[in-house]
Amino acid sequence: MLTTLRIQAEDFDLAEQYSLLRSSSPATTEIGAIVTFTGLVREFEPRSRDHNDDGGALDGMRLQHYPGMTEKLLQGIIDDAAQRWPLLAVTVIHRVGHLAPCDQIVFLGVASEHRQPAFQAAEFIMDYLKTRATFWKQITIDGQPRWVDSKDSDTTAARRWDAQCDG
Amino acid sequence: MIRLHFFGRLSDLATQVPSRCAGETPHAIRQWLAEDFPELAVQLNEPQVLVSVNHCIVDWQTPLTDGDEVAFLPPVTGG
């Protein structure tokens, strides 16, 4: 399986990443399905449960990560997915640094022979990325920076995979 | 010496913390930090905060050796 893993400040081009995923796998002719996911910076952030604010329109966002550990954790998540489903290629690109509303944050592409493993592996990788990979978001609203709270719904989403032995 | 890293909201509270220290376990370092950085220590004692040694999540009582890299990790919020 071909894995591409990048953590970068620069933006990425969806068409280019799709094209690379489609053509660069050694098993190109076996690919029957490609699922892609793109995460974006929302303009409005809801009220925080841990902060005394009403949420509001974002001025911007800063993404911090733990160099070295992030790559290791993401590779582990991709390896876990490849154990569960027959995958041909996976690309993960996660941006760090300063981002503006509507900017792209994360790209995931999963190539497989059939759509079902591609869909399921894509959900699995995103659920684990959100709950395990060492990234932290700091948003600024009305000039006030604050760290984003982790979401219980993300933890619940990741846990559903724990109960399944083989996808 | 042990190298220390703080992330997320912990990094804002740890700007004055030395980047290296001595300590036999992550728990011992956390107790040592409480003396000079009580606000940080409160956050470090939150059950959701994890600790890693050399990029592996470990128990707070894991023995440390010279040159280890210890990081304090609040709940992650990527993606």
- CATH number reported for the structural domain that contains residue B17 in this entry: 3.10.20.30
Distance between CA atoms of residues A113 and A147, nearest Å: 40
- B45-71 pLDDT, tens digit per residue, is 999 999 999 999 999 999 999 999 999
Q: Which of B5, B48, B76 sits opposite A135 (nearest CB)?
A: B76
Instruction: Confirm whether B35 is domain-assigned.
Output: yes
Please tell me if residue B79 touches chain A, with a CB cutoff of 8 Å. yes
Q: Which of B7, B55, B79 sits opposite A68 (nearest CB)?
A: B55
Tell if the CB–CB gap between B79 and A129 is shorter than 8 Å: yes
Work out the pLDDT band at A48, boundaries 50, 70, 90.
low
Tell if the CB–CB gap between B7 and A39 is shorter than 8 Å: no
**Residue A165 confidence (pLDDT):** 47
The distance of B50 to chain A (nearest Cα, Å) reads 11
Instruction: Confirm whether B53 is domain-assigned.
Output: yes
Instruction: Confirm whether B14 is domain-assigned.
Output: yes
Distance between CA atoms of residues A3 and A20, nearest Å: 11
Measured CA to CA in angstroms, residue A103 lies from A20, A52, A144, B15, B53 at distances of: 21, 26, 20, 29, 33
Work out the pLDDT band at A151, boundaries 50, 70, 90.
confident
Tell if the CB–CB gap between B75 and A39 is shorter than 8 Å: no
Would the pLDDT of A73 be above 70? Answer: yes
Number of domains in chain B: 1
Instruction: Confirm whether B79 is domain-assigned.
Output: no
Would the pLDDT of A52 be above 80? Answer: no
Tokens of B10: 């912990």
B19 three-state secondary structure:
coil
Measured CA to CA in angstroms, residue A149 lies from A6, A102, A109 at distances of: 25, 20, 27
Residue partners of A14: CB distance under 8 A and separation at least 6: A36, A38, A104, A107
Distance between CA atoms of residues A111 and A118, nearest Å: 6
Tell if the CB–CB gap between A105 and B77 is shorter than 8 Å: no
- B4-59 pLDDT, tens digit per residue, is 999 999 999 999 999 999 999 999 999 999 999 999 999 999 999 999 999 999 99
Mean per-residue pLDDT of chain A: 91
Distance between CA atoms of residues A14 and B16, nearest Å: 41
Instruction: Confirm whether B54 is domain-assigned.
Output: yes
Instruction: Confirm whether B31 is domain-assigned.
Output: yes
Mutate to test the interface with B, among A40, A134, A140 (most CBs of B within 10 A): A134
Q: Around A13, how many Cα atoms within 13 Å sit in the side-chain half-sphere?
A: 4
Give percent of chain A with pLDDT exceeding 90.
74
- Show the domain range for B11: 2-73
Tell if the CB–CB gap between A66 and B7 is shorter than 8 Å: yes
Would the pLDDT of A80 be above 70? Answer: yes
- Secondary structure letter of residue A150 according to DSSP: P
**Residue A163 confidence (pLDDT):** 65
Tell if the CB–CB gap between B71 and A126 is shorter than 8 Å: no
Instruction: Confirm whether B78 is domain-assigned.
Output: no
